[in-house]
């Protein structure tokens, strides 16, 4: 493997500045310097990619195709340099050219092609697949505007466009010659030719899918992979006859209608137009992807009859489900295969990862919309549905109530998860608890019928990014204690830290590292916002998408409780606390946006009250994103993972906090269950109802109002929330939603039922924090037990149990 020196990199960067920007170093702007560095690293990776591609073709290796509507990549310059092993000489080269390396890395925009955990997981998995030498390609849409940039104005979320492409396009290699045509609408016509049915689509609208490839470098390997992002273009950029007659807007209407597909991540689908656009996005990217895979396969093998032996398509949640009928369409209509042969290929190619048990998140599309937009795909879905329904009716002896739950088309809707379960070779959940709920509840009849199909692969995170790279001081301590950098490829070696549990000097260093990280984060917040964080206080952190089941509101209720008691008793807070929130609410999710407003109202009141000085502080971190998380995780001390038990599929933020030595306060939900298994009761603060207790309480008839009537503290908190805070805004709507419901059951996520238990867990955490030795031991054990939550372990599980592909042997004993 070639090792680049400072001198070599300096020459390559100055060459890029001259050739690409016509600038010498002393004339170059920060942006030009950043792009030049990115292009140099892209060239290094591209050269390796060509060698990887040749090797895959020569060995006829089975390839993994990972389809996800989200890839939350974050920043790439520092990460790619780290993986390539050239971060140090790159730093030296940048500094030697008169630029600040930290400032340069900091100026790179996040590639925000995702909303949260789903997209970040996909990014972590790409890194691990590459590091483990698995031939893999990720596929998504090249959104011109990623997840919105969040501004907080007057305490409320305002969404701003996030144009990441200013620098982001430096990482993208357009492959114009591999453009695919995607067809929408039209009319299906059939005729019999030579004894078989020939299918044509007439009068359709074409959209061209142009691939842009982002090369992914693995750690400690020359192997690279690719993330292929499709952008939508019109085949006819302009109607010249309309343009010539002065109808300029109408002349470019077709272009605008095509390009809107890849304009923005996830349109709001509270209306028909939004639903239509989202379905177009889904079909656009899966159709382009399948056509591309098929084209390359046919060129190499001359037949598609071995397609399933050479490819596995993993669909990340239900968004790419249309890959199933689209691959069927190609095999039936273009290759002329029989239904049975095509179905055999498809069902041995596609596998499905489920990420949610929330009924509203299990996608279903109005059948009329599918018929109008995708008439041939609709016909194929109908045929799959009819055959499946016949099988189900026979299996369940005509019990329609059971058939209905598993039906693909029912009640005027196409149920995407059921289509996945019907067609996929494997269906996996993302934590042991979640997979169990899928088997016992959500898909219980499907599990009864085909139990071998259901698997579990607990999520994991890229520990090289989320520990080694973002927390260098802790990384150095780990290397010292575990005898080198072996843990970077074998995260199981983190377990060796446990033997230092009673080593006072190691515990002291761990505490110093946390203190330094808190100060660094506080300095960053002060620079960005002017807010001064109290670094002598415990940093209690809840950062994740804003959703009612994640229960940011429960955290808020407890803060109001503490504030009220602190007002009456100046000594109430035995440990000073800084509560840090970070969350984006979906633009159309009005309750979530109201909770953000509430947090900011409460924060303004508390932070202005002299009674709270150096005792209680609340800060909402604007525009939470990957690069902000990389600064925050190393500084965090108490990790809030407080979703209603049974609602969070897994979580990955919980793993990032754990790996950086934060202690979790949480329910037995998602991967918290497995965290508890490896940590024991003594290294985590558990509270709340368990998943089966949640079900039992709801079945008995949960009355949230009873908790309000019989708990004086809780009643005082809810009354205060109704009344509002210093800004005079009432949050009576949120209180009524908890007590009486609002188009949903009262307190649907059981905040009031878990309030007392949560309050007690917070008290236990504060008491433990006062005992510095005990707290540092808990912190150390969290790091030591986090190795199983590395994405490398997850990908090994997928490779062994679902994909059946070999992986690089890098594990050191």
CA 261 to mean position of chain CA atoms: 21
Helix (H, G, I), strand (E, B) or coil at 618: strand
pLDDT digits (tens, 9 = 90+) for 314-360: 999 999 999 999 999 999 999 999 999 999 999 999 999 999 887 77
CA distance 321 to 282: 8
pLDDT digits (tens, 9 = 90+) for 582-599: 999 999 899 999 999 999
Beta partners for residue 455, in sequence order: 428
Task: Tell me whether residue 773 is one of the annotated catalytic residues.
Answer: no
Indicate if the pLDDT at residue 252 is higher than 90: no
Count the neighbouring beta carbons within 10 Å of the beta carbon of residue 66: 26
Q: Are 272 and 372 in contact (CB under 8 A)?
A: no
- pLDDT of the residue at 242: 66
Task: Tell me whether residue 545 is one of the annotated catalytic residues.
Answer: yes
Beta partners for residue 113, in sequence order: 71
Helix (H, G, I), strand (E, B) or coil at 483: coil
Task: Tell me whether residue 690 is one of the annotated catalytic residues.
Answer: no
pLDDT digits (tens, 9 = 90+) for 177-209: 999 999 999 999 998 888 788 999 999 999 999
Task: Tell me whether residue 656 is one of the annotated catalytic residues.
Answer: yes
Among candidate residues 547, 555, 765, 531, the one with its CA nearest the CA of residue 662: 765
pLDDT digits (tens, 9 = 90+) for 383-403: 999 999 999 999 999 999 999
Indicate if the pLDDT at residue 270 is higher than 60: no
Residue 236 DSSP code: S
Q: What is the rounded average pLDDT of the residues 140-153?
A: 93
Q: Which helix (H) or strand (E) holds 569?
A: none
- pLDDT of the residue at 359: 73
CA distance 375 to 753: 49
Among candidate residues 209, 221, 123, 117, the one with its CA nearest the CA of residue 171: 123
Q: Are 582 and 539 in contact (CB under 8 A)?
A: no
- pLDDT of the residue at 243: 62
Spot the catalytic one: 545, 551, 584, 593.
Answer: 545
CA distance 409 to 416: 9
pLDDT digits (tens, 9 = 90+) for 557-575: 999 999 999 999 999 999 9
Spot the catalytic one: 35, 75, 319, 355.
Answer: 355
What mean pLDDT is reported for the chain? Answer: 94
Indicate if the pLDDT at residue 262 is higher than 70: yes
Spot the catalytic one: 42, 544, 647, 785.
Answer: 544
Spot the catalytic one: 65, 464, 509, 550.
Answer: 550
Task: Tell me whether residue 131 is one of the annotated catalytic residues.
Answer: no
- pLDDT of the residue at 274: 74
- pLDDT of the residue at 251: 60
Q: What percent of the chain has pLDDT over 90?
A: 88
Spot the catalytic one: 35, 656, 759, 796.
Answer: 656
* DSSP per-residue codes, 33-51: HHHHHHHHHHHHHHHHHHH
Helix (H, G, I), strand (E, B) or coil at 616: strand
- pLDDT of the residue at 523: 98
Task: Tell me whether residue 544 is one of the annotated catalytic residues.
Answer: yes
Among candidate residues 744, 747, 749, 764, the one with its CA nearest the CA of residue 642: 749
- pLDDT of the residue at 684: 98
Q: What is the rounded average pLDDT of the residues 112-136?
A: 93
Q: Are 619 and 643 in contact (CB under 8 A)?
A: no
Indicate if the pLDDT at residue 813 is higher than 60: no
Neighbouring residues of 735: CB distance < 8 A, sequence distance ≥ 6: 718, 719, 721, 722
pLDDT digits (tens, 9 = 90+) for 419-440: 999 999 999 999 999 999 999 9
* Residue 580 to residues 201, 591, 673, 785, Cα–Cα distance (Å): 55, 20, 24, 25
Q: Are 225 and 52 in contact (CB under 8 A)?
A: yes
């Amino acid at each position: 493997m070639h090792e680049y020196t400072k001198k070599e990199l300096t020459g390559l960067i100055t060459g890029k500045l001259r050739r690409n920007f016509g600038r010498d170093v002393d004339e170059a702007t920060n942006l030009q310097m950043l792009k030049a560095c990115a292009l140099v690293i892209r060239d290094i990776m591209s050269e390796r990619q060509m060698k990887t591609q040749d090797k895959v073709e020569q060995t006829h290796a089975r390839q993994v195709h990972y389809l996800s509507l989200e890839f939350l990549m974050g920043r790439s310059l520092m990460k790619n340099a780290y993986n390539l092993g050239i971060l140090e000489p790159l730093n030296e080269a940048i500094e030697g050219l008169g630029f600040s390396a930290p400032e340069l890395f900091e100026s790179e925009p996040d590639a925000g092609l995702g909303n949260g955990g789903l997209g970040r997981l996909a990014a972590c998995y790409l890194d691990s697949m590459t590091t483990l030498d698995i031939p893999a390609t990720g596929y998504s849409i090249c959104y011109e505007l990623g997840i919105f940039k969040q501004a907080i104005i007057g305490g409320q979320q305002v969404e701003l466009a996030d144009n990441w492409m200013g620098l982001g396009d430096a990482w993208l290699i357009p492959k114009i010659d591999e453009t695919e045509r995607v067809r929408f609408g039209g009319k299906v016509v059939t005729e019999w030719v030579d004894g078989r049915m020939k299918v044509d689509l007439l009068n359709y609208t074409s959209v061209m899918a142009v691939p842009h490839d982002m090369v992914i470098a693995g750690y400690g390997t020359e192997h690279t992979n690719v993330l292929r992002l499709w952008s939508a273009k019109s085949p006819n950029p302009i109607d010249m006859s309309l343009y010539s007659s002065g109808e300029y807007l109408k002349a470019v209407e077709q272009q605008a209608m095509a390009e809107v597909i890849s304009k923005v991540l996830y349109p709001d689908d509270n209306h028909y137009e939004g639903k239509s656009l989202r379905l177009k996005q889904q079909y656009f990217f899966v159709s382009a992807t399948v056509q591309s895979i098929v084209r390359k396969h046919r060129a190499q093998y001359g037949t598609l009859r071995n397609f399933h032996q050479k490819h596995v398509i993993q669909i990340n949640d239900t968004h790419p489900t249309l890959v199933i009928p689209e691959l069927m369409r190609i095999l039936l209509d273009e290759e002329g295969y029989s239904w049975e042969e095509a179905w055999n290929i498809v069902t041995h190619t596609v596998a499905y990862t489920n990420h949610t048990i929330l009924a509203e998140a299990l996608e279903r599309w109005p059948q009329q919309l599918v018929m109008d937009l995708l008439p041939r795909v609709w016909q194929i879905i109908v045929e799959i549905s009819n055959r499946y329904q016949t099988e189900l009716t026979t299996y369940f002896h005509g019990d329609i109530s059971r058939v209905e739950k598993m039906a693909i088309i029912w009640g005027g809707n196409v149920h995407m998860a059921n289509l996945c379960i019907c067609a996929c070779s494997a269906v996996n959940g993302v934590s042991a608890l979640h997979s169990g709920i899928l088997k016992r509840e959500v898909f219980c009849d499907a599990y009864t019928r085909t139990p071998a199909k259901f698997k579990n692969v607990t999520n994991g995170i890229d520990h090289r990014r989320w520990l080694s790279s973002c927390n260098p001081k802790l990384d150095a301590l780990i290397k010292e204690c575990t005898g080198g950098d072996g843990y970077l490829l074998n995260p199981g070696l983190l377990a060796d830290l446990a033997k230092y549990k009673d080593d006072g000097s190691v515990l002291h260093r761990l505490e110093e590292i946390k203190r330094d990280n808190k100060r660094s984060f506080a300095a960053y917040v002060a620079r960005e916002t002017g807010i001064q964080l109290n670094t002598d206080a415990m940093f209690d952190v809840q950062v994740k998408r804003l959703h009612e089941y994640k229960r940011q509101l429960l955290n808020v209720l407890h803060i109001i409780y503490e504030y009220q008691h602190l007002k009456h008793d100046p000594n109430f807070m035995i440990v000073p606390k800084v509560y840090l929130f970070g969350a984006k609410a979906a633009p159309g999710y009005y309750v979530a946006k109201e909770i953000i407003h509430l947090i900011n109202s409460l924060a303004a009141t508390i932070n202005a009250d002299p009674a709270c000085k150096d005792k209680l502080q609340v800060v909402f971190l604007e525009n939470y994103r990957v690069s902000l998380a990389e600064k925050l995780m190393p500084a965090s001390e108490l990790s809030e993972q407080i979703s209603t038990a049974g609602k969070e599929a897994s979580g990955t933020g919980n793993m990032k906090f754990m790996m950086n030595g934060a202690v979790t306060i949480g329910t037995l939900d998602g991967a918290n269950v497995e965290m508890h298994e490896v940590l024991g009761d003594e290294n985590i603060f558990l509270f709340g109802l368990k998943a089966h207790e949640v079900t039992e309480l709801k079945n008995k008839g949960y009355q949230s109002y009873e908790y309000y009537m019989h708990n004086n503290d809780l009643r005082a908190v809810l009354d205060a929330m109704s009344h509002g805070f210093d800004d005079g805004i009432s949050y009576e709507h949120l209180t009524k939603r908890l007590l009486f419901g609002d188009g949903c059951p009262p307190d649907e996520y059981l905040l009031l039922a878990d309030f007392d238990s949560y309050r007690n867990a917070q008290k236990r955490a504060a008491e433990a924090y006062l005992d510095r030795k005990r707290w540092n031991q808990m912190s150390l054990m969290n790091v030591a037990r986090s190795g199983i939550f590395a994405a490398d372990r997850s990908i090994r599980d997928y490779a062994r149990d679902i994909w059946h592909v070999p992986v690089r042997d890098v594990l050191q004993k």
